[in-house]
Amino acid sequence: MTKIHFERLCKSFEGGLQVLNGVQLGIEKGESHIILGQSGCGKSVLLKCLLGIQKITSGDIIVDGISVQDERRFGEYLRKFSILFQGNALFDSMTILENVIFGANQVRRDKFECRKLAEEKLFAVGLEKRVFDLYPAEISGGMQKRAALARAIAVEPEILLFDEPTSGLDPITGGVICNLLKNTIKSLGVTALTITHDLKVAEFLADRVSVLNQGTVVWTGRTKDMETCGNGYVIRFHQASSLSGTVA
Amino acid sequence: MQALATLGRYTLATLNEIGKVFIFSVQGLKNCFVPPFYFREIISQLVIVGFYSLPIVGLTAVFTGMVLALQTSVGFSRFNAAGAVASVVVISITRELGPVMAGLMVAGRGSSSIAAEIGSMRVSEQIDALRTLRVDPFKYLVVPRILAGVTMVPLLVLVADVIGVMGGFLVSTTLLDFSVGSYISQTVQNLAAIDVISGLVKAAVFGFSLTTFGCYHGFCCDLGARGVGNATTRAVVSSCIGILVLNYLLTALFFGI
């Protein structure tokens, strides 16, 4: 059953810059899907269009039968998502616990329950109580990533989005975060969509991969089939990623 | 011809910007009356805009009052009108100098920090994070700051009025040989309610204007550290110009000039 459907999605900016050019893609319920592509190929714009942060130029995005353009049902549409931003996007005027409580507030009204849920999620991502009252700037990048993940899952979403989840992290911390993401997706049973340029992350997390090039999905399949798929760009991307040897 | 084209482009860009600010301020005003209200944020902004601006506003007011007393005394003594110092000080402070000086000080301190904070939040995707958490950034970030500006700047002006008049009183009674009793009686006799009220109304409008400019430039800031820096500068410059222009318009409106 298709959970997210991109229907000939196009996005262009002022001045005629076309970033997405007819993206056609279906993501199944419960699937962990990865969108791979070079920097500047439109991955982040795709994610922002999916969340309604940027208006689409033409085409549509349908999630469980609701269009991103349906303003009356946009609240219901958005309630299905939660995102782990590339730069974590933790609110720096709030402590780590307050950040997660802020997320929990969207699904629980009772103050005590919110706090309980937030603490539960922070423990689930492996953070210790001593960091709960610290501000984001006072903890490491890896801890910030965990806290941002805790906030994302505190919303109890149906779809989890990860924007370059290991960028800016050292290989060991990146690996730990990847493990955490995989376990989270598995334990929550959610649909996950990850945007990355890192093939190792894709190999580790993906059920299926789509490769984005010049605003179009040029190939969709399993990572192990990339080398033999017959698409020149995908093969080149695979070979270049293997050579650069990034470690998840 | 080239110069004319440049002038035309500049004029259109300025009008476009004014239009955007106007729409932003109407949206801001409208949202002030529509729930949900984030009371914790509102209280926090009341403290930041009001309480933390108190020292600089107080300091500006006391020296303005003192200088005003000295200058009017020197100038008026040339026309044997030195006795009018108390009246000039109280009217100038309550009608003009209190609201304008306090407004400019809060613009320098508050508008810049609002633009920098919201700009940084935009750059670091915190505003996008608010949207994905189904929190309207306008209601969460703009409304509390506008409410703080509209309520706290008049209170600051009230304090500035008292401190400014006190400054004039101190200089007049210690350096200019005014008697305490006659200075106070002249001050009270020449102070009309409209002087204070017009100053407070001006202050509320200035508070709205400077917080709106701060929020607008923060929301519209370009990405990167330079973008945040530019947004901060634009916020202060436009807030100060806004205060001066609005001051003229409100003065004309109140005193029928």
Is A155 close to B128, i.e. CB distance below 8 A? no
Q: Specify whether A215 is located in the same domain as A248.
A: yes
Residue A245 has pLDDT above 60, yes or no: no
Inform me whether the C-beta atom of residue B225 falls under 8 Å from chain A C-beta atoms. no
Q: Specify whether A101 is located in the same domain as A145.
A: yes
Q: Is residue A22 part of a domain?
A: no
pLDDT per residue over B40-51, tens digit each? 999 999 999 999
Residue A32 has pLDDT above 90, yes or no: yes
What's the confidence (pLDDT) of residue A246?
46
Inform me whether the C-beta atom of residue B133 falls under 8 Å from chain A C-beta atoms. yes
Q: Is residue A86 part of a domain?
A: no
Q: Specify whether A133 is located in the same domain as A174.
A: no
Residue B213 has pLDDT above 60, yes or no: yes
Q: How many CB atoms lie within 10 A of CB A37?
A: 23
Per-residue pLDDT band at A167 (split at 50, 70, 90): confident
DSSP string, chain B: -HHHHHHHHHHHHHHHHHHHHHHHHHHHHHHTTSS---HHHHHHHHHHHTGGGHHHHHHHHHHHHHHHHHHHHHHHHTTT-GGGHHHHHHHHIIIIIHHHHHHHHHIIIIIHHHHHHHHHHHHTTHHHHHHHTT--HIIIIIHHHHHHHHHHHHHHHHHHHHHHHHHHHHHHHHTS---HHHHHHHHHHH--HHHHHHHHHHHHHHHHHHHHHHHHHHHTPPSSHHHHHHHHHHHHHHHHHHHHHHHHHHHHHHHT-
- Assign residue A166 the CATH number of its domain: 3.40.50.300
pLDDT per residue over A66-94, tens digit each? 999 999 999 999 999 999 999 999 999 99
Of A82, A89, A102, the CB nearest to B128: A89
pLDDT per residue over A169-216, tens digit each? 888 888 989 999 999 999 999 999 999 988 889 999 999 999 999 899
Inform me whether the C-beta atom of residue B39 falls under 8 Å from chain A C-beta atoms. no
Rounded to a whole number of angstroms, the distance from the CA of B1 to the nearest CA of chain A is 25
Q: Specify whether A66 is located in the same domain as A179.
A: yes
The pLDDT of A162-172, averaged and rounded, is 89
Last residue of a domain, one of A107, A124, A156: A156
Is B125 close to A86, i.e. CB distance below 8 A? yes
Q: Which residues contact A153 (CB under 8 A, 6 or more apart)?
A: A82, A121, A124, A125, A160, A184, A188
Q: Given the DSSP bridges, would you call strands A208-213 and A58-63 parallel, antiparallel or unpaired?
A: unpaired
Q: Is residue A222 part of a domain?
A: yes
pLDDT per residue over B59-71, tens digit each? 999 999 999 999 9
Chain A interface test: which of B133, B139, B228 (most A C-beta within 10 Å): B133
The pLDDT of B157-170, averaged and rounded, is 96
Last residue of a domain, one of A156, A176, A208: A156
Contacts of B126 in chain A (CB under 8 A): 89-92
ipTM rounded to 2 decimals: 0.88
Number of domains comprising chain A:
2
What's the confidence (pLDDT) of residue A244?
62
Is A81 close to B133, i.e. CB distance below 8 A? no
Is B128 close to A51, i.e. CB distance below 8 A? yes
Contact of B31 with B143, CB cutoff 8 Å: yes
Is B126 close to A79, i.e. CB distance below 8 A? no
What's the confidence (pLDDT) of residue B52?
94
Q: Specify whether A177 is located in the same domain as A230.
A: yes
Q: Specify whether A218 is located in the same domain as A178.
A: yes
What number of C-beta contacts closer than 8 Å exist between A and B? Answer: 42
Residue A247 has pLDDT above 50, yes or no: no
Residue B81 has pLDDT above 90, yes or no: no
Of A48, A92, A103, the CB nearest to B133: A103
Query: Could you give the 3-state DSSP secondary structure of residue A239?
Result: helix
Mean pLDDT of chain B: 94
Contacts of B128 in chain A (CB under 8 A): 48, 51, 53, 85, 89
Q: Specify whether A10 is located in the same domain as A100.
A: no
Inform me whether the C-beta atom of residue B132 falls under 8 Å from chain A C-beta atoms. yes
Chain A residues with at least one Cβ partner in B under 8 Å: 48, 51-53, 75, 78-79, 81-83, 85-87, 89-92, 102-103, 106, 155
Is A102 close to B133, i.e. CB distance below 8 A? yes
Q: Specify whether A52 is located in the same domain as A170.
A: yes
What's the confidence (pLDDT) of residue B223?
82
Q: Specify whether A76 is located in the same domain as A175.
A: yes
Q: Specify whether A68 is located in the same domain as A3.
A: yes
- Structural domain span for residue A97: 91-156
Rounded to a whole number of angstroms, the distance from the CA of B121 to the nearest CA of chain A is 8
The pLDDT of B130-157, averaged and rounded, is 95
- Output DSSP code: residue A182: H
Residue B233 has pLDDT above 80, yes or no: yes
Residue A13 has pLDDT above 80, yes or no: yes
Is B129 close to A85, i.e. CB distance below 8 A? yes
What's the confidence (pLDDT) of residue B257?
61
Q: Specify whether A117 is located in the same domain as A135.
A: yes
Inform me whether the C-beta atom of residue B40 falls under 8 Å from chain A C-beta atoms. no
Inform me whether the C-beta atom of residue B131 falls under 8 Å from chain A C-beta atoms. yes
Per-residue pLDDT band at B6 (split at 50, 70, 90): very high
Q: Is residue A21 part of a domain?
A: no
Q: Is residue A74 part of a domain?
A: yes
Could you tell me which chain A residue has the CA closest to the CA of B136?
A: A75
Rounded to a whole number of angstroms, the distance from the CA of A238 to the nearest CA of chain B is 30
Per-residue pLDDT band at B198 (split at 50, 70, 90): very high
Q: Give the residue from A200, A219, A168 showing the smallest Cα distance to A41.
A: A219
What's the confidence (pLDDT) of residue A248?
39
Q: Is residue A207 part of a domain?
A: yes
Last residue of a domain, one of A121, A156, A191: A156
Q: Specify whether A107 is located in the same domain as A142.
A: yes
